[in-house]
Chains A and B, each alone.
Chain A
Amino acid sequence: MTSFSRRNLLKGGAAGAASLLLGSQLANRAQGQASDMQMVAPKDRKLLFVFCAHGGAGIIDSFLPVVDTEVGDAALAGTLDVYPESLVERVQGSNFRYTKNLTNEDYVFMKPPPSMADLLQHHSADMAIFCHSVSSVNHNVAQARSLNGAGINKGRTIMEAMALRYGGGMPLPSCNMAMDGFIEHGSDPGVPQRARHETITAPLFFATGTHGFRGIPNLPRAGSIERARKVREQLDRETVFAKTFGKSPVIARYLEQRRFGAGELEKANLIEKLLLMDPASIKPGVGLTPGALSAELFKRFPGLMEHDVQAQLGLGFLLAYHGASASVTFGFRSDPVITKGDGVVTAPIAFDYSHSGHRSAQSVMWGNLAALLDSFIGLLKSYDYMGDPSLGKMWDRSLIYVATDFGRTKTRPQDAAAWGSGHDLNNGSLIFSPLIKGNRVYGGVDAKTCLTYGFNRMTGEPDRAVEFEEAALYGALAHVLDIDYSGREDCPALLKRA
């Protein structure tokens, strides 16, 4: 039996004070250089790409559709989000089904999307559906939880965990181009600042922010600017302001980044390596030449200059290819992609346009998502990591997680062909990687309810009694990516090499 003596209480009080002090030290350490970030040799690194399907991408409206005849009750089927057989198709060699395009008129003002078939034809072997539910139908909350496993790993996002595991020595270990809840940092104050993502809102021009003066015409010589930086350092030591406030955490952080910027960031020459501009559009006198890969990116993503998501994928590829990042996050934004040639390519407010037109919004967004992923995975399969054949293809070490807020409601007005849907906790997520046992649905869908169910994490066998949430999905991703933490829910069934 514990005795609550004064000595024990004092010990407890001291421990409490010590823990607060430790918390403070942790917070201070988080500002500094990321000593906790692991340095991993290129050959042993993994890459994480998170594609954020903003607004609620329903898995039963893409690669896990229910055919109306499978319900076994025509009247019930008429009230569910099920598809006629004519709208569901397979490709040879793939265990997944996919929903075919609707008629052009169904898309009203939007351009009919590309077929989802190409993605399955090219990458089914490395694709899995992980059936699960989520714990919130609030967009921002659900988006954040899709990335932090509802707080399972001390509140760290999977991208932060990735940066800690593989990002040591990288100039920008984690970059994030998504929006809303997908762009929230994790809640663990012990995560070093460098492991938190760099927010990017203008991917085409982001490269320019990696160098203090290159690309600005009519400036003094580089040597003069470098000297001016040193003089500034000396001036900062001399001012009363800096002497008084130099120890402020925000200034300490700024000074650390100033050293980093002039050191690692500029020396990595990311300004040219990451430059996505069409060389013809760069004015003479700017003195910048896009990297050799830019031309190839313009071939794979021909709408790159107008299509924001294509630009994100192009930049994400370059960040990973050059070894600058271990994790890159991208995704659809709220505003639709509109191009001169194609008009309205994606839905306004992305998947959430399902409130107004469920079937057309899901179809147009999934079709575009599939086409973008098809091109991106093709790119990763084509290039050696860091341009070094001895390291193998980028794809060999990659995992793509398609994160979304939640599912959509599974019902519709009786026999309606067009309707608006709400938010539903039940859904499933797409994972692509050569590191997983692909071409497989982990879990399944109940035709009579259109609700998904889970599976046995050891064998992968479907189990209607199992319902996973965000923590299980986070654990499975972490398991594949070799990210360890206390309480991880392993998923041996998913791993190719258990």
Chain B
Amino acid sequence: MQNRAQVWSSVLLLAAACELGGAPKKPSGSGSPDGNGSDPFVGAGGQPGAQSSQAAPPPYKVSQGNSVLWKRHAAIEADLVRALELKPEELCKELGVRDCIRDIHVIALGGNDPFRSGINVPASRPLSTSSVVVDRVLLSACSARARADKAAKPGRVFAELDLSGPAPKADAPAVEATIKTLFRRLLARDPRPGETAIVKTLLEGDEAERPQSAEEFATLACFTIGSSLEFLFL
């Protein structure tokens, strides 16, 4: 009888583990960088830049749980207002008319719309248009900050760059300083050397892809960091 109970408890434990998608309270990380799932970045497109850490397993534990939170419309708005020192209404106006975050794309950005649409509970996961909308919001906000900094020197965010000039060289001190500023403002930390090197590759590539001005570089660097997973999830 005791054996039978042990068998059943094992079965139930196994079942519970399966349902929860792994061992939730004890993240694996004992040397398997990939965990036991597939690579979420597979099929993600090209990989410019020489930096990569694929060769050596990183010393980080890989979470097998589901504890990540999607940063939704109000939090994105608040973080961009703080990071880029813009007013909410300056972040993004769709076709120059209506607010992107609180109005037009509120549902795609994870918000709710109780009075107009009766959507009291927001989407549990990103919609098909969510990532595209995030790109629009970030490009619009970053571009607005770059334009404002160009018009009123010294700039508040891109103070190290001459925004009226051409795109700087990748090894210019102003580039590294700008990347550091953006990491601090958007991700609240300093960049690691590998990360800085990756963002600098924005200034490489062929003529059709390189930013033509410092203002464009400022916009693109801000967009790259601000639309990264680390900014969008908690």
Contacts and interface: CB of A to CB of B under 8 A. Distances in A.
A253 B117 contact: no
Interface string A182-199: 010000000001100011
A6 B130 contact: no
B164 interface: no
Interface string B161-205: 000000000000000000000000000000010110011011001
B18 A245 contact: no
Contacts of B208: 221, 223-224
A233 B103 CA distance: 28
Interface stretch (B44-52, B75-83, B152-160): B44-52
Contacts of B25: none
Interface stretch (A124-132, A206-214, A397-405, A429-437): A206-214
A379 interface: no
Interface in B51-103: 51-54, 58, 60-70, 94-96, 98, 103
B113 A201 contact: yes
B136 A253 contact: no
Interface in B1-36: 4, 7-8, 11, 14-15, 18-19, 21, 33, 35
A472 B92 CA distance: 47
Nearest to B27: A244
Given A23-B19, A233-B44, A17 B11 contact: yes
A253 B15 contact: no
B15 A245 contact: no
Contacts of A245: 63, 67-68, 229, 233
B199 to A, nearest CB: 7
Nearest to A143: B118
**Which of A183, A224, A231 has the most CB atoms of chain B within a 10 A radius of its CB?**
A231
Residue of A228, A246, A250, A288 ringed by the most chain B CB atoms within 10 A: A228
B95 A241 contact: no
Which of A10, A208, A248, A288 has the most C-beta atoms of chain B within 10 angstroms of its own C-beta?
A248
Interface stretch (A82-90, A259-267, A360-368, A416-424): A259-267
B84 to A, nearest CB: 16
Interface size class of B (residues with CB under 8 A): 35 or more
A371 B108 CA distance: 31
Contacts of A200: 107
A259 B224 contact: no
Interface string A226-256: 1111111111111111111111111111110
B129 A227 contact: no
Contact of B40 (A16, A179, A252): A252
- Secondary structure at the A interface, as helix, strand, loop or mixed, is helix
Given A224-B216, A227-B209, A261-B128, A219 B143 contact: yes
A92 interface: no
B205 A227 contact: yes
Nearest to B93: A216
Contact of B103 (A21, A202, A246, A248): A202
Contact of B63 (A6, A211, A248, A261): A248
A33 B117 CA distance: 28
Nearest to B131: A258
A243 B60 contact: yes
B64 A220 contact: no
B219 to A, nearest CB: 6
B118 to A, nearest CB: 4
B104 A247 contact: no
A201 B106 contact: yes
B132 A265 contact: yes
A260 B47 contact: no
Given A17-B18, A239-B229, A265 B129 contact: yes
Given A16-B11, A250-B233, A205 B98 contact: yes
B11 A282 contact: no
A16 B18 CA distance: 11
Nearest to B70: A250
B102 to A, nearest CB: 11
A334 interface: yes
B66 A246 contact: no
A413 interface: no
Nearest to A23: B19
Contacts of B11: 10, 13-14, 16-17
A205 B92 CA distance: 13
A39 interface: no
A20 interface: yes
A208 B104 CA distance: 9
B123 interface: yes
B219 A219 contact: yes
Interface string B201-234: 1100100111110001001100111011110110
Most buried by B among A6, A250, A288: A250
Nearest to B197: A238
Contact of A209 (B21, B37, B44, B108): B108
Given A209-B132, A259-B43, A333 B199 contact: no
A283 B18 contact: no
B7 A244 contact: no
Given A16-B15, A249-B21, A216 B40 contact: no
Among B64, B70, B136, B208, the most chain A Cβ lie within 10 Å of the Cβ of B136
A244 B61 CA distance: 6
Contact of A199 (B119, B136, B233): B119
A336 interface: no
Interface in A370-412: none
Interface string B134-155: 0110011001000100000000
B48 to A, nearest CB: 5
Contacts of B210: 224, 227
B6 to A, nearest CB: 12
Contact of B96 (A6, A244, A283): A283
29 contacts: A180-B118, A199-B107, A202-B104, A205-B98, A209-B104, A209-B108, A210-B132, A211-B132, A213-B139, A219-B139, A220-B216, A221-B208, A223-B209, A224-B211, A225-B223, A228-B202, A228-B220, A232-B228, A234-B49, A234-B198, A245-B68, A245-B233, A246-B39, A246-B40, A246-B41, A247-B40, A249-B66, A249-B125, A251-B229
Given A212-B136, A213-B136, A231-B202, 11 more contacts: A209-B104, A220-B211, A224-B210, A233-B45, A235-B224, A235-B228, A244-B61, A251-B229, A255-B229, A286-B95, A335-B115
Which 5 residue pairs spanning A and B have beta carbons closest together?
A212-B135, A180-B118, A179-B118, A13-B11, A258-B131
